[in-house]
Amino acid sequence: MINTTLLSNLLAFAPDTHAAADHAVTEIGSGPKWILLIVGLPLLSSILSLVYAIIGNKTKLPAWTTVAAAGTAFLCTVAMYMSFDGTPYTVHAFDWIQVHFGEKSMIANFSFYIDTLTIYWMLFVTGLATCIALYASEYMSHDVGTSYCRFFGAFGLFVFSMACLVMGDNFLMLYLGWEGVGLCSYLLIGYFYKKPEAVAAAKKAFIVNRIGDLGLALGIYLIFVHFGTLEYAVLFSDPTLLSYVESAKTGDFSAIPTIAQWIPLLLMIGAFGKSAQFPLYVWLPDAMEGPTPVSALIHAATMVTAGVYLIARTYPLFLASESALPIVAWIGTITALLAATIGMAQFDIKRIMAYSTVSQLGYMFAGLGVLTPTGGAYHVLTHAFFKALLFLCCGAVMHGFAGQLDLRKLSGLRKVKGWGIVFVGMLFGCLNLAGFPLTAGYFSKDTILAEAFVTPGYSMIGWILLITAGLTAYYTFRVFFRVFMGPVEYHPGDELHDHDHDDHGEEAHHDTNEHGDHHSDHFHPHAPGWAINTVLVILTACSIAATGLYFVGGDKDAHTKHYADTMVSASTASYHSNYGKHAFEYYEKDPEHYPVAGVGPRGNIDKALEMPIVGGDPHKMMYYISGVIGVIGIALAWFLHLFGRTNAAECKMDPIARMFGPIPKLAENKWYVDEIYWAILVSPLRIGSHILHWIDKLLVDGLVNLFGLLPRIFAWIIRPSQSGVLQGYAVSMAGGVAILLLVVFVMVMQGGLS
């Protein structure tokens, strides 16, 4: 973890941080009202889906309505991008919350803040939403009717919520969208509400996210309490915040109040929950119980990047904290490595992609933490395309093979008629995820890796991420070689029902043809239709085209030359350390506090900036190092999972895995993290809740019930005196008189004795 002096030195090399924040706000303007269509159309499609359900629609109208709304929103986003002149602006819909506390005012209108970061995020959110809605029109066609309407109603509501999160001009709008996407995630994970696993996964996602959301809420509270505003335009031009960043540059963190340094720590907790970072990552793999289009849109490409967006949007707040960014860097690195080790041992191809998503999100957080928000944002964009493509390819396999996702029961699909497009899409998606040279994933991942070695104090993170890159290449092509290459063999999944058994209840047998291929006599896979294939072609093309973004725009002096750098540098997320450029100048100015010990004259500066052990400029060396590591990972996967394999279930890796003893089983069981959480958190809480329940029932309710019982006991005692028998009343009266006389007599006697 970097120390205070080092952090201040690094911030000193960020001349554009103050300027970018000041420019982004002081010159703010007002935008055209048609931009509201980006937010309003998805909401309209959600409402119309509800209407369709009410009137009993049983066609694909909800899907086409959602596709049209998302597609138009995407076109409006493109128009917004084309018309943007570099000056941020707001678009006001209506007044929402305006509360005055003496001299302070809490203003949170239903308004939208448009800058390059907003446009950057909304381009892929609306674009992918359109493609995935088209994909879902076919994928969910088996549920045409009320459930179909329910799915697309939640889908449209999600796009609306995501737009509010990204485009909102204040933190309450962000929080509204934040909670909205969480609600939609819950609804869509639990779409198959009659399936216990889906219901449990939905509840798990909802509960774990509430932990992170509490941190976000507290962070927003502190922002208002300390800075007196929730509006981006006011906050990021606040002289107080800018002075904090200047104090951080000089290493004077004592000048920054504790409350201001706690704000990014609390926001960070919210980001960890939504973006599935350790220790709050456990909900995302289970979220794969939802339909595959949900996994592709929400849990791979858009919602889970909300945490990355939050930190990027509030980057000045993080720069003013002594420990926030180092924590972000290390948590991201730990998450990336941990999820990669689990993904290597899984057999469910969709779950492998889920752990891969967690790992790649860790890369994005590591990028933010090692002071390259442009690298983190660039990986968000490339990952959105190729990971959505991978999920949708897995979904096509699941859809066509009756729910089968076990890579030990699928093989050689490239040779099966009708699966050529899925094969090509999976190939390019895997190449990107593995970081194969000259792919978009290769360039975006390298930006983060190189910056980890350039930034002093973070070389250990760089090595860990390099190891993770090798593991990623291995388990990615483990899936590809097992499922799409080798001999043809496929076994249907559990969704086949009656078709996977013969008339006597015996399991369907599989014959071997003359080429040694295995297939079921009673099962024929259902190849994808035009909608699924069209979307896979589009996303494959986007994944390929995204490579070109690396060579467009950017600050050449900062070693970045990609499109994301152009977009992010003009927003509140702008940050360039320019370490190599200013290193010698800083040494001459203050040699005693130079961030790299032992570095003296200019001749030693370049050596200090070299990559450890290997040497050379990390930005140049990473082209070769990460490329070689990726190729080695792919080669190992080929040798262990394809070369010489004769059936789907067995490969050369099986005996090797047994040599590692319990380790593969531990990884397959996710290192028992869920079980550990259950033992140390869930079970004690359940036991405590039961104890409190009995305390409430026996003590609290017991006292209340006792006071309620006393009048009943008294009534039971005196009830015989109210029998209604005249003689009884006479006896009672006589007894009463006798008692009174006895009392009077006793009192008189006592008075006489005294």
In tens, the pLDDT along 338-356 reads: 999 999 999 999 999 999 9
Q: Please give the tally of structural domains in the chain.
A: 1
Out of 172-176, 506-510, 680-684, which region has the weakest mean confidence (pLDDT)? 506-510
Instruction: Indicate whether 752 belongs to any domain.
Output: yes
Map residue 231 onto helix, strand or coil. strand
Give pLDDT, residue 501: 41
pTM, whole model, 2 decimals? 0.88
Averaged over 65-92, what is the pLDDT? 95
Contact in structure between 159 and 324 (CB atoms under 8 Å): no
pLDDT over threshold 60, residue 86: yes
Instruction: Indicate whether 744 belongs to any domain.
Output: yes
pLDDT over threshold 90, residue 710: no
- At a CB cut-off of 8 Å and minimum separation 6, what does 6 contact? 456, 457, 595
Give pLDDT, residue 367: 93
Top pLDDT among 526 and 474 is at: 474
Instruction: Indicate whether 536 belongs to any domain.
Output: no
Most confident of 156-160, 316-320, 556-560: 156-160
Instruction: Indicate whether 753 belongs to any domain.
Output: yes
- At a CB cut-off of 8 Å and minimum separation 6, what does 585 contact? none
Averaged over 228-257, what is the pLDDT? 88
Instruction: Indicate whether 649 belongs to any domain.
Output: no
Instruction: Indicate whether 730 belongs to any domain.
Output: yes
Averaged over 558-564, what is the pLDDT? 64
What are 583-613's pLDDT values in tens digits? 444 444 555 544 444 444 444 445 556 777 7
Give pLDDT, residue 102: 74
Instruction: Indicate whether 508 belongs to any domain.
Output: no
Backbone angles phi, psi at 91, to 5 degrees: -125, 115
**What is the domain extent for residue 729?**
723-754
∠ CA 206-211-215, nearest 5°, is 130
Instruction: Indicate whether 41 belongs to any domain.
Output: no
Strand partners, 501: 507
Amino acid at 8: S
CA–CA gap between residue 381 and residue 301 (Å, rounded)? 8
Give pLDDT, residue 254: 86
Top pLDDT among 459 and 40 is at: 40
Torsion sign across C-alpha atoms 50, 51, 54, 57: negative
What are 487-510's pLDDT values in tens digits? 999 998 887 654 444 333 333 334
CA–CA gap between residue 296 and residue 552 (Å, rounded)? 27
* Average confidence score pLDDT of the chain: 86
